[in-house]
Amino acid sequence: MDIGKSSFVVVANRLPVDRVTPRDGPTSWRRSPGGLVTALAPVMRSFDGAWVGWTGSRDDAPAPFSTDEMDLIAVPLSAEEIALYYEGFSNATLWPLYHDVIVAPEYHREWWEAYRRVNERFARAAADVADHGAIVFVQDYQLQLVPNILRQLRPDLKIGFFLHIPFPPGELFAQLPWRRQILEGLLGADLVGFQREGAADNFIGLAERYTDATAGDRQVVTADGRTVLARSFPISIDVSEITQLVSDPDVQARSDRIRSEVGSPKHILLGVDRLDYTKGIGHRLKAFDELLAGADVTPDEAVMVQVATPSRERVEAYQTLRDDIELQVGRMNGEYGTIGQPAVHYLHSSYERAELVSLLRAADVMVVTPLRDGMNLVAKEYVAARTDLGGALVLSEFAGAADELSDGAFLVNPHDIDGLKRALLAAMRLDAAEATQRMKLLRERVLGNDITRWAQNFLDTLRAV
Ligand code: GDG
């Protein structure tokens, strides 16, 4: 297939498609669910867009192909590179370092070398497909060196970068042996976007401290005289996807059935997270455990449903976390459960969107308690699903979403277990009028800034710099 040059190029660790391999018949590709690709699809269509990324399988290098009106350019990774660049440097160095060192980051020179090498490969692939003067939009922590490598290869391009996770304060970032290289990598962009203002401030301060750049207000000027804009662009969700699912009679019926299947309790508390140590799953279980232990609620009054989507299962910290959480759930169910009625419905599985939205609709209290989170889309999805203005949101102040949702949510510090217990009780005991009032405030915020608006804001700002 003939793949030409593109005037809009997205570079991300993963391609926005999954391979479908039927037993008989040729391989095809299906668009993976996700707000980012949904938001960028219209831009892709109008600008002959290309997406550069990894397929998710080792040594997989299909020739460039087109699907859904965008060109897809696969960047191959060997098994060793997956271990060193992806599981190692991305998910066992940067991920914990950028999330407040909740687990200790590991620093290994061979991981860094692989990260550098793989970033270069992504940058070259983008340079090859980008038309003269194209816009290139680079995504996330796995590819922080791409902006600068790309700038060297192709000074004609307009380069934007968005970090989906937090950018840490100087006290933590300073640990990174390659802190200067990472900052210089990002400074190759014209626009660097973050989830929160604080993250942009951290970046500007650190760029000034560890590179030759000088800092102005919301701007950094690099040694070569270029201006880099650093700002927050709080990401959001595809509201229309959720609204459509919620209005589906099957989803409504499924939601009612979920309620009865968990024993029609007065309160269903729900958590939906990738099984990740940043999400504070253990903290919320502990708070619920203590509420049951102190008889603040009884097991037939309140049940917790926790969806824990399998994630990064080859990284050691994730294996330990799984053991810890499953021990905790097992203990709670042994203590408070009865036949056919566990206190915690723990689901280590991934679900269809429709099932997820049915769960959101069935939940009286959505419990989102990360210890640190760039944004947290689940909190916003819950709000979008409550077209009935029902339900309550308990939300960690350490999630980026707290900046926008503080008016209607019950904000908590998840480390403060007594505070978390009080918030859970208050959310369960909320009267209908106040619940409606709070949900209206939440919905105003979420519906007023959806993913399309986010993409438009970012790209408009990038075009203008
Ligand atoms: C990173 C940042 C930032 C979850 N389980 C299933 C499923 N999900 C969907 C959720 C939601 C998404 O996955 C998870 O997004 P989050 O924002 O909650 O968390 P991360 O995965 O950590 O995302 C985060 C985000 O990037 C965007 O910038 O908000 O802070 O860490 O949409 O609904 N979807 C399906 N089945 C599941 O079982 N289909």
Ligand 1 and 236: CB distance under 6 A: no
The answer regarding whether domain 6-235+452-464 maps to CATH 2.40.10.10 reads no
Both structure tokens of 9: 């190029």
* Active-site pick, 164, 296, 324, 348: 164
Distance CA 44, CA 39 (A): 9
Print pLDDT tens along the chain (465 aa).
Answer: 567 899 999 999 999 998 888 888 888 888 887 768 877 887 888 888 999 999 999 999 899 999 878 999 999 999 999 999 999 999 999 999 999 999 999 999 999 999 999 999 999 999 999 999 999 999 999 999 999 999 999 999 999 999 999 999 999 999 999 999 999 999 999 999 999 999 999 999 999 999 999 998 778 888 788 999 999 999 999 999 999 999 999 999 999 999 999 999 999 999 999 999 999 999 999 999 999 999 999 999 999 999 999 999 999 999 999 999 999 999 999 999 999 999 999 999 999 999 999 999 999 999 999 999 999 999 999 999 999 999 999 999 999 999 999 999 999 999 999 999 999 999 999 999 999 999 999 999 999 999 999 999 999 999 999
Ligand 1 and 165: CB distance under 6 A: yes
Nearest atom (ligand 1) to Cα of 166 = 30
Domain boundaries, the chain: 6-235+452-464, 239-448
Query: Given strand 130-139, what is the order of strands in its sheet?
Result: 65-67, 70-74, 50-54, 6-14, 130-139, 158-162, 191-194, 227-232, 219-221, 214-215
Distance CA 393, CA 291 (A): 18
Q: Give the pLDDT of residue 1.
A: 53
Nearest atom (ligand 1) to Cα of 349 = 38
Q: Checking phi first, is residue 24 left (phi over 0); if not, alpha (psi -120 to 50) or beta?
A: beta
Regarding an ipTM greater than 0.95, the answer is yes
The SS3 of residue 16 is coil
- Centre of ligand 1 to C-alpha 24, Å, is 33
A 10 A CB-CB count for 28 gives 12
Q: For the purposes of burial, counting CB atoms within 10 Å of the CB of 68, is it exposed (0-12), middle (13-18) or buried (19 or more)? A: middle
| 373 catalytically annotated | yes
| 164 catalytically annotated | yes
Residue 61 vs residues 51, 52, 56: alpha-carbon distances, Å: 14, 12, 11
H, E, C per residue of 84-135: HHHHHHHHHHHHHHHCCCCCCCCCCHHHHHHHHHHHHHHHHHHHHHEEEEEE
- Which of 352, 353, 375 best tests ligand 1's pocket when mutated (most atoms within 8 Å of CB)? 375
Is residue 166 within 8 Å of 372, Cβ to Cβ?
Answer: yes
Residue nearest atom 19 in ligand 1 by C-alpha distance:
376
Ligand 1 and 343: CB distance under 6 A: no
Is residue 296 within 8 Å of 254, Cβ to Cβ?
Answer: no
Q: Position 82: which residue type? A: I
- Let me know if the fold of 6-235+452-464 is the same as that of 239-448: yes
- Which of 18, 376, 398 best tests ligand 1's pocket when mutated (most atoms within 8 Å of CB)? 376
Is residue 465 within 8 Å of 191, Cβ to Cβ?
Answer: yes
Q: What is the CATH number of domain 239-448?
A: 3.40.50.2000
Q: Position 367: which residue type? A: V
Q: Give the pLDDT of residue 222.
A: 81
Residue nearest atom 5 in ligand 1 by C-alpha distance:
309
